[in-house]
Amino acid sequence: MAIQMNAFSPGTADSRPAAGDPAPGFVQRSPQNPRYSFDSAAGRYLVLCFFGSAGDGLAQNALKAVLSRPDLFDDRHASFFGVSNDPADEQTGRLANRTPGYRFFWDFDLLAARRYGVVPPDTLAKDTPLVLGRCWIVIDPTMRVIATIPFQEDGGCAACVIDLLATLPPPARFSGIELQAPILFLPRVFEPELCRHLIRLYEAEGGAESGFMRQVDGRTVPMQDSSFKQRKDCNIRDKDLIAAIQTRFLRRVVPEITKAHQFAVTRMERYIVACYAAEDGGHFSAHRDNTTAGTAHRRFAVSINLNDDFDGGEVGFPEYGPRSCKAPVGGAVVFSCSLLHRVSRVTRGRRYAFLPFLYDDAAARLREQNLRYLGDADLTKDAATDKTPAPHSNES
């Protein structure tokens, strides 16, 4: 591929994000992952480098500069993501991920390049030569742009990026203070006896391995990968028990969401008791809950702990620092499904939890429209399209 290395003039073809703008997310192929979601790396400083081709001398010098600083690019303070538009970089093997700290995207279809405005918006991958405005994008832990730095012929841009990273505070204090994730923390949603009853239900019926959703070829499909998620779930089928749970949500959770977010919850998806067990290595890596067509209707996630005799298994929000939280027995953590979150590995005992999603009538219509994107009929009952009646719902 012939790549013409250019810089665009601000205010004309250049639509690159500026300081303070949200950093666009995208999903692109990488050397070790056919569908790497860039925004799943949030929670540390990110450097996105649009260098075009590693066969170019200026790009080689830029890569050499960042590879010489593993003290900065350690996946704790910062991570580097190089974006290649040259198929020869993959074919020759001259670029490879190096963890911690260094990863690459194969952006041969220009998806990322267009999203970040480093090519004109109407550019096609087959265009020859490719006009590329090479640059570095420095991004904060909440996926907002800190700086956009164009490539310089003397190579000084790499030094500017490294100097900037070296002066930034620890990711947990990127804003100048330690932030609290925008969550609701609600004790006393379930009474202790209800918690014990739900645990007994799980122990009597057992749980089945639960996966996660991915968008593959336009379809929402369930996936299994124990390195990403390890959890077993038990479905609640007793209608009286479901009604009791709904009553508690209507009285103790829904009003708090209305007060804090001015959002009127009318629907609940999924009635399960989930178990993260130490003997299984129970955990859930960083993810968002509404990133596929089959899950786009989800608005809030709720995590209610049913016990506390375990270690690990805490809910964390990487974009807002390393702190994690462990709700008391019967207590809920409520958060937007758009927030990146994870569950740390359980190291002792078992964590039992009730884990529904909440949404409203408008989202219910979206959910109905997106049924056609579900790639597995069984998913309609147990995962993304559960038809269980919800608070204020007239579904049957």
Q: Using CB atoms within 10 Å of the CB of residue 127, give its burial: 0 to 12 exposed, 13 to 18 middle, 19+ buried.
A: middle
Cα-Cα end-to-end distance for the chain:
57
When pLDDT is cut at 50, 70 and 90, the band that residue 376 belongs to is: low
In this predicted structure, what is the pLDDT of residue 5?
55
Q: List the one residue out of 238, 253, 233, 248 whose CA is nearest residue 352.
A: 233
Q: Of 211 and 253, which is predicted with more confidence?
A: 253
Contact 15, 114 (CB under 8 A): no
**What percent of the chain has pLDDT above 70?**
89
Pairing of β 45-52 and β 78-84: parallel
**pLDDT of res. 387:** 33
DSSP H helical ranges for the chain: 57-67, 87-91, 111-115, 156-167, 192-205, 239-252, 254-261, 361-369, 379-382
Domains within the chain, CATH numbers bracketed: 3-173 (3.40.30.10), 184-382 (2.60.120.620)
| pLDDT at residue 391 is higher than 80 | no
For residues 229-247, average pLDDT: 97
13 has pLDDT over 90: no
Residue range 309-340, pLDDT digits in tens? 999 999 999 999 999 999 999 999 999 999 99
Residue with more model confidence, 44 or 211: 44
| Rounded distance between C-alpha atoms, residue 247 and residue 257, angstroms | 15
Would you state the pLDDT for residue 153? 85
> Residue 24 gets which letter from DSSP?
P
Average pLDDT, the chain: 89
Segment 124-149 mean pLDDT: 88
Local confidence band at 390 (pLDDT 50, 70, 90 cut-offs): very low
Instruction: Determine the Cα–Cα distance for residues 396 and 392; give it in Å rounded to an integer.
Output: 12
Looking at per-residue confidence, does 220 or 361 come out higher?
A: 361
Q: Is the peptide bond before 141 cis (omega within 30 degrees of 0)?
A: no
Note the pLDDT of residue 8.
42
CA distances in angstroms from 331 to 12, 132, 302, 353, listed in the order given:
52, 52, 10, 10
Task: Kindly report, residue by residue over 56-75, the tens digit of the pLDDT.
Answer: 999 999 999 999 999 999 99
